[in-house]
Amino acid sequence: MFIIHGSSRENGNTEQLTKMITEGISVSEVQLRTKNIRPINDQRHAELGFQPVDDDYEQISKEMLEHNTIIFSTPLYWYGMSGLMKNFIDRWSQSLRDKELNFAEKMKTKKMYVVIVGGDNPSLKALPLILQFKHIFEFVGASFEGYIIGKANSPGDIRLDSNTIQQANALNLKLKNEN
């Protein structure tokens, strides 16, 4: 299982929630805030195509491809995923053109989960983001297995969102059984 953390804050509410979901499960994970990931430079139509970029994207994406289950864990920033995570996903356009990667082939088999924590009525206002992830996963042919939307404002508040914690525990059980 591979976790992509999109939060800019260490051990924030979203990370805490994701930890509950993956407790007792062996995971690989990346905190995007600790990495250097350049925005996509759309060279799909450039004569020479995409040029290599000297940053951490390629290594992270390759690690991602090795796992069957991927968790996208992001706070709800301005009613979307964080820019950190969006830049990571934008770069998939480059990976899709990399003939050696077999990116498209490998993504098709993956099981995707989304974990979001927001402060402003997220059970309603995160729904456009869920719909966006639906399109993303459909495009690469991956299976959107589930999502959890938590509510928290101040640090640690996610522990007060009992309904979400219950869902996290249930998902934890499910993932343990699958693993």
Structure tokens at 140: 């690469």
- Rounded CA-CA distance 17/30 in Å is 16
User: Nearer to its own copies by C-beta: 3 or 122?
Assistant: 122
DSSP string, 8-50: SSTT-HHHHHHHHHHTTS--EEEEGGGS--PPP---TTSTT-P
145 in the Ramachandran plot: left (φ > 0), alpha (ψ -120 to 50) or beta?
alpha
* One residue of 20, 40, 112, 168 binding its own copies per CB under 8 A: 40
Among positions 147-166, residues that touch its own copies (CB under 8 A) are: 147, 154-155, 162-163, 166
- The label of the residue with tokens 């992270």 reads 60
User: What mask of x and - would describe binding to its own copies in positions 1 to 30, judged by CB under 8 A?
Assistant: ------xxx--x------------------
Contact flag: residue 31 with its own copies (CB under 8 A) = no
Closest CA to 73 of 7, 122, 169, 164: 7
User: What mask of x and - would describe binding to its own copies in positions 70 to 89, judged by CB under 8 A?
Assistant: -----x-xxxxxxxx-xxxx
Site residues (CB under 8 A) for its own copies? 7-9, 12, 33, 39-42, 45, 75, 77-84, 86-90, 92-93, 120, 123-125, 127-132, 134-136, 139, 144, 146-147, 154-155, 162-163, 166-167, 170-171
